[in-house]
Amino acid sequence: MRNSPLRETVLHALGWVQVWTSHFLICLTVGSLLLQVFSREVGWQVDWTEELARFSFLVMVFTTASFASGRMTHLRVSVFSDFASRWAVSKWIVEKLQLACILAFDGLFCWYATANVIEGFRYPTISPSLGFNESLLFIAPASFFAIAIVQRLLRLPDGADADGGVLPT
């Protein structure tokens, strides 16, 4: 399993989806806000730009979170766990507990985000400018947290089951 070409292909494809979706969304956010500034200066009535920027940003939060998770870089308090990881046994326990907690949250959020999508079809919340069903935004956390879960599970044979470290913000 560790060196399986299928596993490498799947991991590569998932990483590709994460990074290129994030690229597209940040360009869409920046582009629509630039259009907003420009259209205001020339007196055009473009009232959907802010909504489009907000929605693309919302989706981007979850695609980039999934991307950061795929690169094992998340904010965490590492002082105590690093200390505990000096010994092989405690390191193993800490890493497994961390992995269990990450999978538990990712799984819960993915599950309830999917439930919100289903709920959204029954009781849609329509945005004023674009006429978009805002509940569909939950597709982003549902799908990209599912990707993050699959990535973590596929990387288990490598022993890379805990986060890499503190990321400077």
Partner 1 sequence: MSATQLSLAVLFPALLVLGVPIYAALGLTGFAVAYFTDSPMLFASQTILNGVNQYPLLAIPAFILAGNLMEQGGITRHIVGIFRHMFGHIRGSLGMVTIFACMFFAAISGSGPGTAAAIGGIMIPAMIRYGYPPAYAAAVAATGGTLGVLIPPSNPMIIYGLIANASIRDLFIAGVMPGLLIGLALAGVAYGMARYHRVETIDSEVGGEGWKRLAWLVWDGKAALALPVLVLGGIYSGIFTPVEASIMAVAYAFLVGRFAYKSLEPAKLKVAFERTHMISGALMIVVACSTLFARVITFERIPQALMTAFSTQASDAVGVLLLINLLLLIIGCFMETMSAIIILTPILVPLVKSFGIDPVHFGMILIVNVEIAFLTPPLGVNLFVAAQIAGIKIEKMFMAVLPFLLALLAMLALITLVPELSLWLPRLLR
Q: Which chain residues interact with partner 1 by CB under 8 A? A: 19, 22-23, 26, 29-30, 33-34, 36-37, 50, 53-54, 57-58, 60-69, 71, 73-82, 94, 97-98, 101-102, 104-106, 108-109, 112-113, 115-116, 119, 137-138, 141, 162-163, 166-169
As given in the structure block, the two tokens for residue 145 are 């947290």
Q: What is the DSSP letter of 166?
A: P
As given in the structure block, the two tokens for residue 146 are 């599912």
Rounded CA separation 106/144 (Å): 10
Long-range contacts of 39-46 (CB under 8 A, 24+ apart): none
Tokens 């956010």 label which residue? Answer: 29
- From residue 136, give the alpha-carbon distance in Å to each of 4, 129, 133: 35, 16, 6
**Shortest distance, CB of residue 132 to partner 1, whole angstroms?**
13
- With 0-12 / 13-18 / 19 or more C-beta atoms within 10 angstroms meaning exposed / middle / buried, residue 139 is middle
**Shortest distance, CB of residue 106 to partner 1, whole angstroms?**
7
**Shortest distance, CB of residue 36 to partner 1, whole angstroms?**
7
Nearer to partner 1, 101 or 156 (CB): 101
Nearer to partner 1, 10 or 109 (CB): 109
Nearer to partner 1, 64 or 133 (CB): 64
**Shortest distance, CB of residue 4 to partner 1, whole angstroms?**
26
Nearer to partner 1, 160 or 166 (CB): 166
